[in-house]
């Protein structure tokens, strides 16, 4: 196990190097530079001369070729310094630290709710396969899955924010109300929850539909296996067959999907964050790419890459726990 | 067993990481940051009103644990920092010497709010507030009535709700509160609340010194010198006086190489020297005798005592020990920053020490006690917030104006008004490209384009057609102004035939022999990645297909487009320009080899006229010069001018006092400072 983990970690470091070098070179190869973005909003009086542009590029270190700049970035990384954002002129770690909490506030409950409901629902529809309630639920899940979240988000806001305005059921966008700082601890928790309900729903419903269908599909395959027939022949009841035998054998793909979901916990959702005015990491990344904020792009790419690799590693390790046939020798 | 997974696992990991952008739906969204090159803003708006004090902590006391790395950076920065190293060495004369050799002429020192009051008195409203509030904005006539009824300033102080707060909409967060680093529209808006300036201009673009900050302003007859006496009752939010030394220091800092003042350096760099002779007297020395010199003096002013001790070590102001200056800056304007939640909101409080001095009111009291900028990147959500009463104002896109603001749910709490901005949208032809070198071809393009479809369908009939670089109501526009063009395909084809572009091989595409090679009339037009711009380019493409020209539309992210434009690496482009307060600001767009002359237009006549325009002090003669420029540009058609953007705004029905300038309702004096909430 230890040898396996060490080898995986070495491979992960190598992978990270390749990814960061590739992304850095791609980001720096994009036409334009972050200093030209601001020129957009100057009026004709406030133009930046080519000399000023050159000075600004030097001040921000943009006059160096990408590989030199990458080496500098890498050097900073070894000192746990991801550099400063060009746009915000603040450390990248601070910016990410500020936003990732807001994203986790939505993604973790969404993850828990999604898998917490998907497993029992998936098992339920497997048990009821072919019956009316299963058909209705399946149609409903297909419908949910095909609904674009940004349309649902706007519709929900229209109803719960505008139409229910002035009632206790109003669910506003943003993270908190204007009087948030004046509220008690419980009041703050309630206010935050009220603001979280709609984005959480929009964050979760499609995943719930997908995961439920995913579990059902895997279960359908498992219950056709010989060992299930054997279990039935032995007279075991349906519940035991389904939960103890069939479901256990679908855990490998289930763990895989959990591993793949891990990066999405910190990646945010650009469109939903914009609609709900939620200052999460997705919007930050989107703005960083649009503004060619190289250090910020790199900091976040690194974070996503580490999360992806960690998710993969976690899944691989969990395989051994969910399936005794897998060993690390 | 898992050994077998390694290569696959590696590939999956790499694939996942490289496909991360797809996870974030990049390119599938309206980009709030992808902004066109149009900015009807001006950083020069002075702080018009008062506010409360929030002293910043002394820099030396903040931030205790700086890393060795940061210290190295600071040492390197300090070694490279030289205050005012972009200024030519100059020894100014003494004030006595200057006074003895210069004949001073008094210049206007005005209170912009008083100008509004005088304007209201001259044009009393014939529409009552009650009538205006009942109206729905369905025509230009009702629009004007709403503006007239609700745009008046308060009859007296009792009509104002002095404890009111206002929630303003911001499509994006600001990057910096430091006035020298501002560059976006949102930052200019915020600087008009917290910044202090000595000069301003009104809704007709007339320049003056701001009475709230200046006692007197004199210019030498040849405009080589300007002498300003600053009021002695101005203070920074930390209680220190605002003096002429702050002005001179700000000038030098703006012209320091290692301080990246990208947006505010231009213009300021045309000043030869700024000398503070005492706490109140500051003299601007200009390089040349130009009528445009007064535009250059309108740079932001920062507190010398706050920044001088820290800026040499930290010219980018990124050190953690100076971060408090971002969130809690020492300000000279009417408002102070109360709190800032990044990506969410920024809240300002009225600063009492701005309008009160030794307990006595010395300036207009700002109408709002609290101003909150809510960051709502999504326009649809912002409109819902407006309808729900959580926003008091927002700018409306043509689509929102036309389709989502006509119902009871909108008019229950709000109303909407518009006026034309002098910001124009156009096609830019790269004249270096052989296809567009001939002005007959450029005229053919203008006649081929379906202007009516653009104005009536894409723009819902809301916008005015544009016929040149100056708006027809501007004093610089030729009289009469050119007539708006209509699609005339026959004329376009005749012009192309005349220019030698004919379909010689019958393939349906016009062509011409250029340098011995047959060149098809095919080109690519680039534009910013915004739907309306793309639609306009597609309309051009459809129009040109009818006359045997093939056009490909390419939408680019803004930085990519700007790079292509700057490098002249394009054939045609669709973009826009905001309005400068002086016609000379368009010199850098149309004069030969100027940085924003992306299409490489060159006309000796136009170049000479621009040079003459900035040297002509007689207003009527100067007017004629710019009218001649406009005529020549129209004749040469370096652009195909399309339309003027509208400033379309929704306001809460509780707001009064708004008036539109050619830069919209805010970006002039008094602008936002004239808006108030009623006691009702």
Question: DSSP string covering B198-228, please?
Answer: SEEE-TT--EEEETTTEEEEEEETTSSEEEE
pLDDT 10s digits, B176-212: 899 998 877 888 889 999 999 999 999 999 999 999 9
Mean pLDDT of B16-33: 33
pLDDT 10s digits, B60-108: 333 333 344 555 555 656 568 899 999 999 999 999 999 999 999 999 9
CB contact under 8 A, A267 and B20: yes
* Start-to-end C-alpha separation, chain A: 7
The pLDDT, as a whole number, for residue B4 is: 37
pLDDT 10s digits, B120-143: 999 999 999 999 999 999 999 999
pLDDT 10s digits, B237-280: 999 999 999 999 999 999 998 888 877 888 899 999 999 999 99
Residue B38 has pLDDT above 80, yes or no: no
The pLDDT, as a whole number, for residue B3 is: 35
CB contact under 8 A, A37 and B185: no
The pLDDT, as a whole number, for residue B490 is: 97
CB contact under 8 A, A41 and B566: no
Q: Does A291 touch chain B (CB under 8 A)?
A: yes
The pLDDT, as a whole number, for residue A232 is: 87
CB contact under 8 A, B260 and A22: no
CB-based contacts of B434-441 (< 8 A; 24+ apart in sequence): B434/B514, B434/B519, B435/B519, B435/B521, B435/B523, B435/B571, B436/B571, B436/B572, B436/B599, B438/B499, B439/B635, B439/B636, B439/B637, B440/B495, B440/B496, B440/B498, B440/B499, B441/B495, B441/B496, B441/B499, B441/B501
CB contact under 8 A, B33 and A37: yes
How is residue A200 written in tokens? Answer: 């959480």
How is residue B455 written in tokens? Answer: 């104005």
Residue B478 has pLDDT above 90, yes or no: yes
Q: Does B614 touch chain A (CB under 8 A)?
A: no
Q: Which of residues 305-364 of B touch A (CB under 8 A)?
A: 315-318, 320, 323, 326, 341-344
CB contact under 8 A, B33 and A11: no
Chain B residues within an 8 Å CB radius of A309: 13
How is residue A39 written in tokens? Answer: 């020129």
Residue B630 has pLDDT above 80, yes or no: yes
Of A41, A56, A268, the CB nearest to B184: A41
Residues 6+ apart with CB under 8 A from A276: A153, A157, A173, A174, A198, A199, A202, B381
* Mutant choice from A39, A96, A305, A308 vs B, greatest count of B C-beta within 10 A: A39
User: Which residue of B lies nearest to A43 if distances are taken between CA atoms?
Assistant: B39
pLDDT 10s digits, B400-437: 999 999 999 999 999 999 999 999 999 999 999 999 99
Burial class (CB in 10 A: 0-12, 13-18, 19+), B286: buried
pLDDT 10s digits, B341-399: 888 999 999 999 999 999 999 999 999 999 999 999 899 999 999 999 999 999 999 88
pLDDT 10s digits, A8-61: 888 899 999 999 999 999 988 887 777 765 554 445 556 677 777 787 787 777
Give the pTM: 0.85
Euclidean distance between CA atoms A174 and B343, whole angstroms? 10
Please list the ranges in chain A whose pLDDT falls under 70.
Answer: 36-47, 328-329
Mean pLDDT of B666-676: 95
CB contact under 8 A, B2 and A328: yes
Q: Does A59 touch chain B (CB under 8 A)?
A: yes
The pLDDT, as a whole number, for residue B111 is: 96
Q: Does B412 touch chain A (CB under 8 A)?
A: no
Of A11, A46, A274, the CB nearest to B377: A274
What is the per-residue DSSP string for B599-628?
A: T----HHHHHHHHHHTT---HHHHHHHHHH
CB contact under 8 A, B18 and A19: yes
Q: Which of residues 208-247 of B touch A (CB under 8 A)?
A: none
């Amino acid at each position: 196990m230890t040898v396996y983990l060490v080898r995986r970690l070495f491979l992960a470091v190598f992978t990270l190097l390749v990814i960061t070098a590739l992304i850095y070179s791609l980001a720096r190869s994009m036409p334009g530079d972050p200093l030209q973005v601001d020129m957009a909003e100057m009026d004709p009086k406030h133009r930046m001369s080519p000399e000023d542009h050159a000075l600004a590029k030097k001040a921000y270190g943009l006059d160096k070729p990408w590989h030199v700049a990458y080496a500098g970035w890498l050097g900073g990384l070894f000192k746990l310094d991801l550099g400063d954002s060009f746009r915000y002129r603040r450390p990248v770690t601070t910016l990410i630290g500020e936003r990732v909490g807001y994203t986790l506030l939505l993604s973790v409950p969404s993850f828990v709710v999604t898998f917490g409901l998907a497993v029992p629902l998936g098992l339920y529809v497997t048990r009821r396969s072919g019956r009316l309630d299963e058909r209705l639920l399946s149609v409903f899940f297909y419908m949910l899955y095909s609904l674009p979240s940004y349309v649902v988000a706007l519709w929900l806001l229209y109803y719960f924010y505008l139409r229910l305005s002035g009632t206790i059921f109003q669910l506003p966008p943003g993270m908190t109300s204007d009087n948030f700082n004046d509220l008690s601890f419980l009041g703050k928790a309630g206010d935050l929850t009220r603001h979280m309900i709609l984005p959480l729903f929009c964050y979760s419903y499609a995943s719930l539909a997908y995961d439920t269908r995913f579990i059902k599909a895997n279960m359908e395959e498992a219950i056709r296996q010989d060992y299930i027939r054997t279990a039935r022949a032995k007279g075991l009841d349906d519940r035991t067959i389904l939960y103890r035998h069939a479901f256990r054998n679908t855990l490998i793909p289930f763990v895989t999907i959990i591993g793949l979901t891990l990066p999405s916990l910190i990646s945010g959702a650009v469109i939903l964050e914009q609609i709900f005015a939620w200052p999460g990491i997705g919007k930050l990344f989107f703005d960083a790419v649009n503004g060619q904020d190289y250090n910020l792009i790199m900091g976040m790419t690194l974070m996503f890459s580490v999360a992806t690799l960690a998710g993969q590693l976690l899944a691989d390790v969990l395989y051994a726990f969910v399936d005794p046939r897998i060993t690390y020798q | 067993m898992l050994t077998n997974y390694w290569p696959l696992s590696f590939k999956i990991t790499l694939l996942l990481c490289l496909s991360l952008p797809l996870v974030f739906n990049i390119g599938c969204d309206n980009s709030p940051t992808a902004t066109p090159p149009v900015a009807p803003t001006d950083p020069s708006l002075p702080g018009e009103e008062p506010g409360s004090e929030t002293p910043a902590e002394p820099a030396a006391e903040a931030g205790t644990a700086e890393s060795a790395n940061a210290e190295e950076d600071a040492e390197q920065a300090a070694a490279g920092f030289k205050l005012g190293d972009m200024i030519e060495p100059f020894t100014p004369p003494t004030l006595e010497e200057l006074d003895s050799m210069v004949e001073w002429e008094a210049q206007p020192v005005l209170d912009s709010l008083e100008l509004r009051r005088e304007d209201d008195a001259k044009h009393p409203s014939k529409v009552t507030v009650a009538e205006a509030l009942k109206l729905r904005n369905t025509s230009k006539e009702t629009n004007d009535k709403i503006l007239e009824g609700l745009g008046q300033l308060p009859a007296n102080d009792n009509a104002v709700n002095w404890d009111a707060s206002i929630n303003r909409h911001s499509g994006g967060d600001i990057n910096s509160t430091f006035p020298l680093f501002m560059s976006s529209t949102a930052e200019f808006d915020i600087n008009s609340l917290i910044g202090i300036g000595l000069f301003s201009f009104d809704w007709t673009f007339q320049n003056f010194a701001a009475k709230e900050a200046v006692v007197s302003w004199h210019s030498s007859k040849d405009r080589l010198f300007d002498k300003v006496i600053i009021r002695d009752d101005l203070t920074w939010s930390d209680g220190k006086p605002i003096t002429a030394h702050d002005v001179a220091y700000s000038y030098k800092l703006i012209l320091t190489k290692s301080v990246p003042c990208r947006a505010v350096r231009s213009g300021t760099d045309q000043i030869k020297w700024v000398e503070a002779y005492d706490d109140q007297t500051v003299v601007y020395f200009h390089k040349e005798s130009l009528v445009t010199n007064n535009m250059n003096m309108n740079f932001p002013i920062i507190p010398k005592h706050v920044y001088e001790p820290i800026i040499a070590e930290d010219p980018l102001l990124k050190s953690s020990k100076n971060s408090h200056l971002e969130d809690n800056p020492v300000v000279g304007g009417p408002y102070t920053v109360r709190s800032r939640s990044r990506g969410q909101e920024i809240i300002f409080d009225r600063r009492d020490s701005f309008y009160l001095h030794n307990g006595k009111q010395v300036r207009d009291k700002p109408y709002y006690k609290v101003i909150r900028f809510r960051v709502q990147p999504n326009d649809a959500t912002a409109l819902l917030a407006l309808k729900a009463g959580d926003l008091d104002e927002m700018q409306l896109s043509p689509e929102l104006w036309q389709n989502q603001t006509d119902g009871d749910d909108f008019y229950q709490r709000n109303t909407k008004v518009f006026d034309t901005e002098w910001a124009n949208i156009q096609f830019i032809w790269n004249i270096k490209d052989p296809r567009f070198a001939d002005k007959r071809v450029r005229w053919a393009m203008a006649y081929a384009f379906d202007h009516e479809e653009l104005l009536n369908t894409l723009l819902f009939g809301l916008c005015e057609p544009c016929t040149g670089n100056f708006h027809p109501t501007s004093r610089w526009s030729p009289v009469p102004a050119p007539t708006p063009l209509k699609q005339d395909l026959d004329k376009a084809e005749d012009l192309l035939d005349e220019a030698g572009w004919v379909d010689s091989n019958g393939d349906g595409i016009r062509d011409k022999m250029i340098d011995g090679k047959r060149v098809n009339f095919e080109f690519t037009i680039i534009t910013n990645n915004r739907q309306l711009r793309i639609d306009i380019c597609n309309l051009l493409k459809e129009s040109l297909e009818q006359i045997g020209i093939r056009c490909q539309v390419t939408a680019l992210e803004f930085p990519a487009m700007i790079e292509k434009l700057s490098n002249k690496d394009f054939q045609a482009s669709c973009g826009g320009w905001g309005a400068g307060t002086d016609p000379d600001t368009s010199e850098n767009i149309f004069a030969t080899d100027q940085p924003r002359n992306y299409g490489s237009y060159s006309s000796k006549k136009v170049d000479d006229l621009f040079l003459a325009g900035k040297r002509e002090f007689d207003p009527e003669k100067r007017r004629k010069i710019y009218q001649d420029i406009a005529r020549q540009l129209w004749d040469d058609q370096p652009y195909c001018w399309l339309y003027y953007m509208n400033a379309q705004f929704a306001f809460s029905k509780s707001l009064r006092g708004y008036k539109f300038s050619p830069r919209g309702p805010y970006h002039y004096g008094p602008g936002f400072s004239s808006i108030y909430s009623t006691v009702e």
